[in-house]
Copies of this chain bind each other. A is one copy, B any other.
Amino acid sequence: MHVKECILSAPGKAILHGEHAVVHGKMALAVSLNLRTYLRLKATSDGKVCINFPNISTLLCWDLTELKLLVPDTCKKEDGKLLNAELVKCLREFVGVTNGNLDTSNMATLAFLYIYISIFGTGELPSLTVTVWSELPTGAGLGSSAAFSVCLAAALLCASGAITAPLRESEHTARWCQEDLELINSWAFQGEMIIHGNPSGVDNAVGTWGGMLRFLSGKIIPLSRVPLLRILLTNTKVPRSTKVLVAGVKDKINKFPTIMTPVLDSVDAISCTCEKVLSEMTHEPITGEHYNILEELIDINQHHLNVMGVGHPALDTLCRVTLARGLHSKLTGAGGGGCGITLLRPGEVIYTVQDLRDCGFDCWETSIGGPGIQQHSPHAVKDDILEILNHY
């Protein structure tokens, strides 16, 4: 079986408002983060499947004959909410992670093999090389695993013919139709299940559809139109445990219910107000007042997150350093360190990036609200990324 080459990319994810509150039945706004994960699928004829994930030092090759032995007797190709437990077990043995020691490299490998075998298992296994390069830091709560899974799902579904590559000749970039995106998303969710165990589905939805989505009580509702907003993404590089932070918030709510419940209500109202303002920004001329409100919402929510106890001195530093330049920041995701976002106005020149790097932080100028999974012509991919993708 001979497959078509393709290059595609999927965005990361940031929580704009509602992190932690979402655990307690409130709404969260998740947005695409335009730090993207790129995947190149190359057809080969050497009877091998190779994966190259240089970000996580993973370069592996298998003979098709090896992989054929992994195909389960009853291979389910349809999308589903449940993993094929037999296949997972078999793949874990194959990769050698039966002891439960799943590092990032093992998890990425498992996710690839699971989707590859599941999609192609009913027919002939194709010889191919998949190279992935990401602009996203891993393990920072920015949906890097979801962007990876979305890319894998789209590339392998395309290669199998389940969906059609959307890029026409003369086009630089193209998107899939809604039906194909649904299929990509459902397979990406399986990748997320392999990697995360019990994912919310938000990250892969953002990676697939891009833009912004509302997440409430387990339901994911993509928003029709949102403006593209410039931001700084800052990684304080302070390590934290999401599990410990979530438990801490729960304890605080139990300890001070009359004090904390209104704070969650206020966060919910922030998310609603933000969604309303962003919607207005797509329907009417954007004014400074729109940005004033977005900045006020960021400031208020950051204070609320501090009330929940998920702040950190490094995040305080981020807020202080950016405010000294007139910019407004909040943590994004679990907090307790990790990443923060800083809103930029259109055309604003950014002096603060160096200030933040001087604090020892990683800092990227990027945007939120951009497109989800896309196919690219090689000409549409930045040279340095194309070089990495072509290197293998």
**Residues of B contacting A265 in the complex (Cβ-Cβ under 8 angstroms):** 262
Q: Which of B259, B300, B313, B320 contacts A269 (CB 8 A)?
A: B259
**Residues of B contacting A266 in the complex (Cβ-Cβ under 8 angstroms):** 258-260, 262-263, 266, 307
The contact string, 1 if C-beta is below 8 Å from chain B, for chain A 266-278, is 1001101100000
The yes or no answer to A256 lying at the interface (CB within 8 A) is yes
The contact string, 1 if C-beta is below 8 Å from chain B, for chain A 250-265, is 0000001011101101
Whole-angstrom distance between the alpha carbons of A265 and B256 in the complex?
13
From A324, which residue of chain B is reached at the shortest CB distance?
A: B313
The contact string, 1 if C-beta is below 8 Å from chain B, for chain A 293-325, is 000110110011011000001001000100000
From A266, which residue of chain B is reached at the shortest CB distance?
A: B262
From A264, which residue of chain B is reached at the shortest CB distance?
A: B262
Q: Which of B297, B307, B320 contacts A303 (CB 8 A)?
A: B307
Residue tally, chain A, CB below 8 Å to B? 23
CB contacts under 8 Å to B, within A225-268, are 256, 258-260, 262-263, 265-266
From A263, which residue of chain B is reached at the shortest CB distance?
A: B266
From A319, which residue of chain B is reached at the shortest CB distance?
A: B316
**Residues of B contacting A258 in the complex (Cβ-Cβ under 8 angstroms):** 266, 269, 272-273
Q: Which of B273, B304, B313, B320 contacts A307 (CB 8 A)?
A: B304
Q: Which of B256, B263, B299 contacts A296 (CB 8 A)?
A: B256
Whole-angstrom distance between the alpha carbons of A144 and B376 in the complex?
71
**Residues of B contacting A269 in the complex (Cβ-Cβ under 8 angstroms):** 256, 258-259, 262
B296:A300 contact, CB within 8 angstroms = no
**Residues of B contacting A263 in the complex (Cβ-Cβ under 8 angstroms):** 262-263, 266
From A269, which residue of chain B is reached at the shortest CB distance?
A: B258
Q: Which of A269, A300, A313 has the most CB of B within 10 A?
A: A300
**Residues of B contacting A320 in the complex (Cβ-Cβ under 8 angstroms):** 313, 316
**Residues of B contacting A297 in the complex (Cβ-Cβ under 8 angstroms):** 259
Whole-angstrom distance between the alpha carbons of A306 and B298 in the complex?
12
Chain B's nearest CB lies how many Å from the CB of A321? Answer: 12
**Residues of B contacting A313 in the complex (Cβ-Cβ under 8 angstroms):** 320
Whole-angstrom distance between the alpha carbons of A151 and B128 in the complex?
91
From A311, which residue of chain B is reached at the shortest CB distance?
A: B303
Chain B's nearest CB lies how many Å from the CB of A326? Answer: 13
**Residues of B contacting A256 in the complex (Cβ-Cβ under 8 angstroms):** 269, 273, 296, 300
Whole-angstrom distance between the alpha carbons of A263 and B297 in the complex?
13
Chain B's nearest CB lies how many Å from the CB of A328? Answer: 13
**Residues of B contacting A300 in the complex (Cβ-Cβ under 8 angstroms):** 256, 259, 307
**Residues of B contacting A307 in the complex (Cβ-Cβ under 8 angstroms):** 266, 299-300, 303-304
Q: Which of B259, B260, B270, B303 contacts A306 (CB 8 A)?
A: B303
Whole-angstrom distance between the alpha carbons of A272 and B296 in the complex?
28
**Residues of B contacting A259 in the complex (Cβ-Cβ under 8 angstroms):** 266, 269-270, 273, 297, 300
From A305, which residue of chain B is reached at the shortest CB distance?
A: B303
The 8 closest A-B pairs by CB, nearest first: A262-B262, A258-B269, A262-B266, A262-B265, A259-B269, A303-B303, A303-B307, A303-B306
In addition to A258-B266, A266-B266, A316-B320, 8 A-B residue pairs with Cβ atoms within 8 Å of each other are: A256-B273, A256-B300, A258-B273, A259-B266, A259-B300, A263-B266, A299-B307, A313-B320
Could you pull out 27 A-B pairs where Cβ atoms are within 8 angstroms?
A: A256-B269, A256-B273, A256-B296, A256-B300, A258-B266, A258-B269, A258-B273, A259-B266, A259-B270, A259-B273, A259-B297, A259-B300, A262-B265, A262-B266, A262-B269, A263-B266, A266-B266, A266-B307, A299-B306, A299-B307, A300-B307, A303-B303, A303-B304, A303-B306, A303-B307, A304-B307, A313-B320
